[in-house]
Amino acid sequence: MSLIHALVARGSVILAEHQAGKRNFSQATEKILSKIPPNDSKLTYVWEEYLFHYISEGGFTYLVMADDSAGRRMPFAFLADLQRKFVGAPSTSASLDTPAHGLQGSFGPTIAALMHTYNTAPPADALAQAQTELNQVKNIMVQNVEQILSRGERIELLVDKTDAMAGQATAFRRGARSVRRQMWWRNTKVVALCVLVALVFLWILVAQFCGAGLNQCSSKNQPEPASTS
């Protein structure tokens, strides 16, 4: 566990406390309390492998003993939360005349519950919460940038498709003109062939009556010579 021993004191008088471990640190905490100045302060004392963090404000001291591995941020977040709960407790108004451990029955369970919360699932402090929110915003921005880039790729793809369609349309127009030209020449050839066939058919028809060289028809049209007596 990270938090081992926590208490609320008025000067050097302990009003309520809770110890999570089996080892008794009462002498150490009393010695630390005797060293805390009467003015408002916030400090950390080192004793063996343990750290004593405290907040002294308004004549009351909020102290917690923690492992060195807990650092400073989480224990001081615990002390700030402990101070808020103590100031908001109904028994605070009468705590100026309360004897030693006079609030153990009323506020001791609050210290125990708060220590259990911070030892098992400590709430995120303001800095960590701000960092989390910043990471969330960063992730959202990354997603937005990815969407923008994806949209840009789609626009570029649409432009490429438009250019391809324009090229296909140009090629289609060229092909249409070529086909139309080929059809015109084909129709012209068909008409010329039809005319030629008609001329040949006409020639064959006329040749049946006038001969192949059309000589018979021409001789019939010539005038007969006049007779002489």
- Model confidence band, residue 197 (pLDDT cutoffs 50, 70, 90): confident
Of the candidates 5, 6, 14, 7, the residue with the CA atom closest to the CA atom of residue 95: 14
The predicted model gives 49-69 an average pLDDT of 90
Q: What's the predicted TM-score (pTM) here?
A: 0.55
Cβ–Cβ contacts within 10 Å for residue 209, how many? 9
Contact 79, 36 (CB under 8 A): no
Of the candidates 45, 117, 19, 8, the residue with the CA atom closest to the CA atom of residue 53: 45
pLDDT at 85: 92
Q: Is the pLDDT of residue 188 over 60?
A: yes
* Token pair belonging to 114: 């708060």
Angle between helices 104-120 and 73-88 (to 10 degrees): 150
State the Cα–Cα distance between residues 46 and 72, nearest whole angstrom.
12
Is 70 or 104 the better-scoring residue by pLDDT? 104
Classify strands 3-10 and 50-57 as parallel, antiparallel or unpaired. unpaired
